Structure 1
Amino acid sequence: MSFRQRAVNEFLVKEEIPTADIHQRLQRAYGSVCMGESSVRRWAKHFKDGNTSIEDEPRSGRPRTTSTESNKERVDEIIQDDRRVTVDTISRKIGIGHSAVQKMIESFGIVTGDESWFHHFEPETKRQSMKWHHLHSPSKKKKRQ
């Protein structure tokens, strides 16, 4: 939900416009991406109670800890060590959820097929296509003769 819609909602609440009318105006302005009528009512109550913030309040519960850089590095290392490792195995080794591991793998640009790992690589030249290498691996040096 956009901050703009909340700001418009706040303005119209101060103008003492009924929430049904506010929702209709938002629908005309934002179309299919408009916030729902229940959200309009909730934010209207929020503003009528004297709150001026258009940001969501922090939510209770455990903060997200799975998408850390160290976890991403560990996932990458496991894949580099064994390209036939499964998502479930990675998930168990690191102790994070299956979907979190899957999202990390997708962010690396790796495409899975039959639980084998393939890096999505589109070479620009014939020479580049001769050998696949990891994104961060050093370039191969030729010996002088």
Structure 2
Amino acid sequence: MTAILTLAAIETGCQAMSTEQRTNLKFLVQLGKTPSEALGMLQQVYGDEAMSRSHVFELCKRFKEGCEDVEDNPRSGRPSMSRTEANIERVRQIVHGGRRLTVRLITNELGMNRDSVWKIITEDLGMRKVCANMVPKLLNDDQMDRRMQVCQDILECLETEPDLLGRVITGDESWIFEYDPETKCQSL
């Protein structure tokens, strides 16, 4: 929250400096200075913070044509900040409601930009995408019963033959799981 407030303060300071430069530029145009002379004076006063050459020339033209307003014109479009506390809370509720939702489904439901939703999920909520390949996540009742029966049979065999696992030869190490892995590291 403090970063947002700091960003807002910086933007307000930039807007004030920009308005100040436009006011000074209007004054220089009224004195009869050319756009190149006005640009040189602004660069002398503001240094690296001075307006760009194209912006100075455009504003000089507008002031010569009789424009009196030194403020920015209102802009249309969506607000610049879509990562508000309310939107973060809305995304949090949707994600906790169903963890298997895609970013596309969340954006369609909330009517937000996909990049904004992704940044909320990863940066604000601290979540990350995890997966494990070739491991069934949703088992039907028959598959769960079969898995349970196989595990019980192996445990019974281990009680009678403690060296059973030493005699098992497999092509890989994934012939049995005690749990469903949630991350790639766990599935190794």
- TM-score interval, normalised by the smaller of the two chains: 0.5 to 0.7
Q: Aligned AA for 1:64?
A: R
Candidates 64, 70, 78, aligned match of 2:78 = 64
Q: TM-score, normalised by structure 1?
A: 0.60
How far apart are 1:12 and its partner, in Å? 0.7
- Check the 8 A contact 1:85/1:115 in 2, yes or no: no
How far apart are 1:85 and its partner, in Å? 4.4
1:62-141 to structure 2, matched below 5 A, reads 63-64=77-78, 67=82, 71-82=87-98, 85-102=101-118, 104-105=120-121, 109-114=124-129
Relative distance call for 1:84 and 1:47 in structure 2 (3 A) is same
Relative distance call for 1:4 and 1:105 in structure 2 (3 A) is farther
Candidates 52, 73, 80, aligned match of 1:36 = 52
Superposition CA RMSD, Å: 3.1
Using the TM superposition, name which of 94-103 and 28-37 deviates more.
94-103
How far apart are 1:87 and its partner, in Å? 3.1
Whole-Å separation in 1 of the counterparts to 2:57 and 2:45: 18
Question: In the alignment, does 2:61 pair up with 1:45?
Answer: yes
**Hey, what does 1:126 align to over in structure 2?**
none
Q: TM-score, normalised by structure 2?
A: 0.48
How far apart are 1:88 and its partner, in Å? 3.0
More strand, by proportion: 1
- Check the 8 A contact 1:79/1:85 in 2, yes or no: yes
Cα deviations by residue, 1:14-43 (Å, 9 ceiling, x for unpaired): 111111011111112222222111110111
More helix, by proportion: 2
SS at match of 2:126: strand
Relative distance call for 1:105 and 1:8 in structure 2 (3 A) is farther
**Hey, what does 1:12 align to over in structure 2?**
28
**Hey, what does 1:27 align to over in structure 2?**
43
**Hey, what does 1:119 align to over in structure 2?**
none
Whole-Å separation in 2 of the counterparts to 1:36 and 1:93: 41
How far apart are 1:47 and its partner, in Å? 1.3
- Check the 8 A contact 1:86/1:115 in 2, yes or no: no
Relative distance call for 1:103 and 1:4 in structure 2 (3 A) is farther
Aligned length: 113
Whole-Å separation in 1 of the counterparts to 2:78 and 2:54: 28
Please list every run of 5 or more consecutive structure 2 residues that lacks an aligned counterpart in the other structure: 1-13, 132-188
